[in-house]
A = this chain, B = another copy of it.
Amino acid sequence: MENKVLIFGHKNPDTDSITSSLVMENLERKLGNENVKAVRLGDVNKETQYVLNYLGIEAPELISEVEPNQEVILVDHNDKTQSIDNIGDAKVLKVIDHHAINFTVSSPLYYRAEPVGCTATVLYKLYKENEVEVDKTAATLMLSAIASDTLVLKSPTTTDYDKKVVKELEKITGLDINEYGVDMLKAGTDISDFTPEQVINIDSKLFEQSNKKFRIAQVNTADLDSIFKNQAYFEQAINDDIQKENLDFYVFAATDIINSNSRIISLGNDAPVVEKAFGVAVDNHTAMLENVVSRKKQMLPPILDALNNDVNL
């Protein structure tokens, strides 16, 4: 493995992170770069497992660190806090992403980010630009990633380009995103056998920006009540994390994929930033954010703006 270029997405991998590393591996090989290997930085969640089961393929190998000077390709992330712990030891050859940018390297590299709903959308563009045929497995992986990241094209992160790509992927796969995608999302919302601690870690991202250290965790659900009836247990798990990691604040968002809104729990010394960020009153550590479903586009930017504009925090 050591001599191969490793391809991986972010920690606490979601469907886009896992599938995009597999798709990028496929693309690189078709372009003649045999020496690549998709890996992952964390457990496969239930939604992603649904995709892998559907295709009958194995998850990429789990890794926890890289050798010094290991050549890597990052997909679906660029921020070091979301990457492998010793990313500083690696040599980043390429980045394929669709997020905000918080990235520093001392040598030029291939960096491709576009403000679209999903890394897979950018990857599909790369297949087209390089005139590489998209096979059915790669197309299913990309369709899954887009269905996941855009909540079946309903999230405000969805662009016309995502929709166009989905149409073409539906043709290749014979799948209907509104059937296959919704089944996949539902599989991901099954948290019946999870502890609150496990739930908050399904899709949790650490940010160190504006001199603050914070997490925004998100879980999709078709039933907000099933989560909030156990709010006290979730608060305990979140407070444990705040203490363990010395966080300034923590936002946990339960996103209702049926009604397209999110109910949050916010804790920590700087939790008041949430009221300013979203213009809501937080009552008993929780608030409903109407029409908010995207961490990337609707949660992180207002939080960063609120942090940057408030010298008292």
Please report A residues at the B interface, Cβ cutoff 8 Å.
98-115, 129, 209, 296-297, 300-301, 304-305
Q: What are the 6 A-B residue pairs with the smallest beta carbon separation, nearest first?
A: A111-B113, A108-B115, A106-B304, A102-B104, A106-B301, A101-B103
> What CA separation (Å) do A297 and B304 show in the bound complex?
34
Q: Is the CB of B101 within 8 A of A104?
A: yes
Main secondary structure on A side of the interface with B? mixed
B105, B108, B112, B305: the one contacting A111 at CB < 8 Å is B112
Residues of B close to A114: CB separation below 8 A? 108, 110-111
- Give min CB distance, A22 to chain B, whole Å: 23
Residues of B close to A101: CB separation below 8 A? 101, 103-105, 109, 111
Residues of B close to A111: CB separation below 8 A? 101, 111-114
- Give min CB distance, A213 to chain B, whole Å: 16
> What CA separation (Å) do A304 and B304 show in the bound complex?
29
B102, B107, B112: the one contacting A100 at CB < 8 Å is B107
Q: Is the CB of A296 within 8 A of B113?
A: no
Q: Is the CB of A109 within 8 A of B104?
A: no
Q: Is the CB of A110 within 8 A of B115?
A: yes
Residues of B close to A129: CB separation below 8 A? 129
Output the nearest chain B residue to A308 by Cβ-Cβ distance: B106
Residues of B close to A115: CB separation below 8 A? 107-110
A112-B112, A129-B129 known; A301 and B107 CB under 8 Å?
yes
> What CA separation (Å) do A100 and B109 show in the bound complex?
7
